Amino acid sequence: MEKVLVTGAFGQLGTELRLLTAGNPGFMFTDVREEGPVRLLDICDAAAVERFVTDNHIGAIVNCAAYTAVDQAESDEARCMAINVGGPVNLARSARRHGAALVQISTDYVFDGRRKSGIPYTEASRRHPVSVYGESKRRCEDAIRRIGCRGVIIRTAWLYSPFGKNFVKTMLRLGAERPEIGVVADQMGTPTYARDLAQAILKLLPQIGERRGEIYHYSNEGRCSWAQFASRIMEEGGLVCRVNPLTTDQYPTPATRPAWSVLSKEKIRKDFGVETPQWETSLHHCMVRMQK
């Protein structure tokens, strides 16, 4: 029986997929370390990828493995490109040889964020990354589409969950330690609850059909600044910590961030019937899980 391979099993999205499919023998999970049911697989090793796909009769691959240290990537470009481009290329080539489908995760960072405020990016919008991380994902998208395996590319943004390192967990920690913090208020986007994205992936997997490298957007609904997101996190967490708005110039980082990252989700809702809940609702659900 063909199985679904999920890479990057210890990351935010991979962890949510593990929880949602717990007990389902049709799913196999891998990462760069082996632990419990998670098996070892380095996606940058083409021969290892091919052996795994062949030996385990893989019929679909969900690639959650990625280099996501956006600022570090500016000085670690070779490693970022190896993981974000080379790894997915190995998966796509193996998927093509075996007729398997590939779900590849991409990012809002393929855009420069200079679009006029109020107009969401569509899947057809012009890409112009302004960071090494964003460029690695642009190259990944192009490479997968050239290879031509069955599957889809899903761009997402501002991912968070109860697991791993993310903005929500950082804000909760700082909010518990400090009476006030400064957070950038001139970068707008939409947070994405990793569990919602995982559920969307599970719904679209059996519907991929003969799509080949087609691009879709997925995030939650609505829009906010990082400062507004932080304020809502403090409120949900019952923390008395004032969030002071900063400009991007007041908070310089090695990598340039898009000032506008709102994505249109109309296409993925229409083609696959997935839900895109409001970001405030999803944040509340995540916080309830974390508090338990």
Q: What is the pLDDT of residue 240?
A: 95
Quick check: helix, strand or coil at residue 26? coil
Q: Nearest 5°: phi and psi at 120?
A: -65, 150
End-to-end CA distance of the chain: 37
DSSP 6: E
Quick check: 101 pLDDT over 70?
Answer: yes
Contact 132, 74 (CB under 8 A): yes
Rounded CA gap, 267 and 256, in Å? Answer: 28
Amino acid, res. 77:
E
Rounded CA gap, 149 and 123, in Å? Answer: 19
Q: What is the pLDDT of residue 118?
A: 80
The two three-digit tokens of residue 259, written as one number: 């000032």
> pLDDT, tens digit, for every residue of 1-23?
689 999 999 999 999 999 999 99
Distances (CA, A) of 280 to 73, 131, 194, 209, 211: 30, 28, 14, 33, 32
Place 115 in a pLDDT band, splitting at 50, 70 and 90.
confident
DSSP H or E segment with residue 215? strand 212-217
Q: Is 133 a catalytic residue?
A: yes
Q: What is the pLDDT of residue 85?
A: 98
DSSP H or E segment with residue 63? strand 58-63
Average pLDDT over residues 189-215: 97
The two three-digit tokens of residue 231, written as one number: 């304020």
Average pLDDT over residues 77-95: 98
Length of the chain: 292
Average pLDDT over residues 184-202: 97
Q: What is the pLDDT of residue 236?
A: 96
Q: Pick the catalytic residue: 133, 160, 216, 218?
A: 133
Query: Could you give the angle at the alpha carbon of 33 between the alpha carbons of 29 and 36, nearest 5°?
Result: 55
Q: What is the pLDDT of residue 1?
A: 66
| For the chain, domain boundaries | 3-161+194-220+262-276
Amino acid, res. 269:
R
Q: What is the pLDDT of residue 3?
A: 96
DSSP 38: B
User: Could you tell me whether strands 150-156 and 3-7 are parallel, antiparallel, or unpaired per DSSP bridges?
Assistant: unpaired
> Which CATH superfamily hosts domain 3-161+194-220+262-276?
NAD(P)-binding Rossmann-like Domain (3.40.50.720)
> pLDDT, tens digit, for every residue of 234-289?
999 999 999 999 999 999 999 999 999 999 999 999 999 999 999 999 999 999 99
> pLDDT, tens digit, for every residue of 131-190?
999 999 999 999 999 999 999 999 999 999 999 999 999 999 999 999 999 999 999 999
Average pLDDT over residues 195-199: 98
Average pLDDT over residues 72-85: 98
The two three-digit tokens of residue 128, written as one number: 């112009």
* Residue in 144, 141, 154 with CA at minimum distance from that of residue 205: 154
> pLDDT, tens digit, for every residue of 29-74?
999 999 999 999 999 999 999 999 999 999 999 999 999 999 999 9
